[in-house]
Amino acid sequence: MTHRTFAALAVLLLSTICAPPLLAQRGRGAVEDAEVRPAPRWPDGRIRLDAPPGETGIWYGPGGAVPGLADWDNNPNPHPFPGRPKVSEVPFQPWARALIDYRDVNQFEPHARCKPSGGIRQFVTPYGNEIVEMRELERVYIFDVGGPHSFRVIYMDGREHPEDLTPSYYGHSIGHWEGDTLVVDTVGFNEKFWIDRRVTVHTRQLRFIERFTRTNYETIEYVVTVDDPGAYTEPWTSGVYLRFEPDLEMFEYICQEQNQAADLMVGTEVESFFGSSPIVP
């Protein structure tokens, strides 16, 4: 799906299917504007993505009923973000389409074995996130709580992606601000995780463009373009709402504590080379 068709579809959806809940959530009406705080800003006017000083709060993505960047065709209550495609509208290559059908039956997701999972998967995980811009360091950190309890780094210092990138779970992210929108460009993903809850297939060729727009205090419009010629016939775009829950803080969550698939996490004797020294560090 091109940007243009995405925009057209967005308008169509906006005006028909999900207009009432959408408008309420987006706070675009005069009544809502009076009730919802504006997004916090730094002294120079730039949008701030975490809680301002003296306050706390964390971001939650959509719940587990949202599989990720596309909705199942038979879902009667798709996530109300404008322009989200149904699975049948995603330009999958045949193997990728077959893979998500398999995943839907066999939900053997690496995330459940504590694997770090980049992209939107950070936001469709329980217990929330923080998005912290350290302006002096010229980087944005996105911390996850559930799952790997790790973090990704977005470089804001104008650097480019390195050429000899080692594929990784979170990839290599560079970002910049376009008005009130943080635009993040990520490449260099490995293929050892699912980038959402099973409907977005990716390969090492993935380029993942995220646009974070904090439209008010409690909402981020999170729009993603998936550009992966290894899995799709053309780039496509979708999005979700992230919801800010004030007065909460992130806490310790260690997936490994009670992981019942430790054998699958650090090795077993099932094959000769399982049982590797699953050693610290």
Partner 1 sequence: MSTRSIDNMRWGGYHRLGAVLGLGGWLLVAPLAAHHAIVAKFNPDEPVALNGTITKVDWANPHVHVLMDVQGAGGIANWAIELESPVDLDAGGWSPDAVRLGERITVEGIAARDGSLQAWAYSMTRTDSGAAVFDIPDPVPPSAPALSGPAPRWPDGQPRLGPPPGESGYWGNPTASVLVEDGVDVAANSDGRLLNLDDAPRVAPLQPWALALYEFRQREFLSSDPAFLRCIPPGGPRQFQLPYGIQFVEQRDRERIFVLVGSGNRNWYFIYTDGRDKVGRVEGDDDNPLYYGRSVARWEDDTLVVDTRGFNEDFWITNGGLPHTDRLHLIQRISRPDFNTLEYEVTIDDPGAYTRTWTASWTLEWIAGEEMPVYFCQDNRP
- Position among 106, 166, 178, 179 found at the interface with partner 1 (CB under 8 A): 166
- Position among 49, 90, 114, 120 found at the interface with partner 1 (CB under 8 A): 114
What are the structure tokens assigned to 129, written together? 């996130």
Nearest approach, Cβ of residue 116 and partner 1 (Å): 6
Nearest approach, Cβ of residue 71 and partner 1 (Å): 27
- Position among 79, 84, 115, 197 found at the interface with partner 1 (CB under 8 A): 115
Stretch that binds partner 1, among 9-17, 33-41, 204-212, 268-276 (CB under 8 A): 268-276
- Position among 75, 150, 181, 216 found at the interface with partner 1 (CB under 8 A): 150
Considering the rule CB under 8 A, would residue 165 count as an interface residue with partner 1?
no
The distance of Cα 226 from the centroid of its chain, to the nearest Å, equals 11
Site string for partner 1, 192-231 (x = CB under 8 A): x---------------------------------------
Considering the rule CB under 8 A, would residue 266 count as an interface residue with partner 1?
yes
Cβ atoms 211, 223 nearer than 8 A: yes
Q: How far apart are CA 229 and CA 231, in angstroms?
A: 5
Cβ partners under 8 Å of residue 242, min gap 6: 59, 60, 61, 123, 129, 212, 219, 220, 222
Q: How far apart are CA 128 and CA 116, in angstroms?
A: 15
SS3 label, residue 68? coil
Cβ atoms 140, 156 nearer than 8 A: yes
- Position among 93, 181, 205, 259 found at the interface with partner 1 (CB under 8 A): 259
Cβ atoms 240, 79 nearer than 8 A: yes
Q: Which residue has the tokens 């699958």?
A: 264
Q: How far apart are CA 197 and CA 36, in angstroms?
A: 30
Q: Which residues partner with 213 through β-bridges?
A: 181, 221
Nearest approach, Cβ of residue 243 and partner 1 (Å): 17
Nearer to partner 1, 108 or 177 (CB): 108
Strands, E assignment, the chain: 57-60, 129-134, 139-144, 151-155, 172-178, 181-187, 207-216, 219-227, 236-246
What are the structure tokens assigned to 227, written together? 């550009």
Q: How far apart are CA 181 and CA 263, in angstroms?
A: 42
Nearer to partner 1, 63 or 273 (CB): 273
Size of the site for partner 1 (CB under 8 A): 54
Nearest approach, Cβ of residue 250 and partner 1 (Å): 7
Considering the rule CB under 8 A, would residue 111 count as an interface residue with partner 1?
no
Site string for partner 1, 47-66 (x = CB under 8 A): ---xx-x--x----------
Considering the rule CB under 8 A, would residue 76 count as an interface residue with partner 1?
no
Interface positions with partner 1 (CB under 8 A): 50-51, 53, 56, 110, 113-116, 132, 134, 136-138, 141, 143, 148-151, 153, 166, 168-170, 192, 247-252, 254, 256-257, 259, 262-269, 272-281
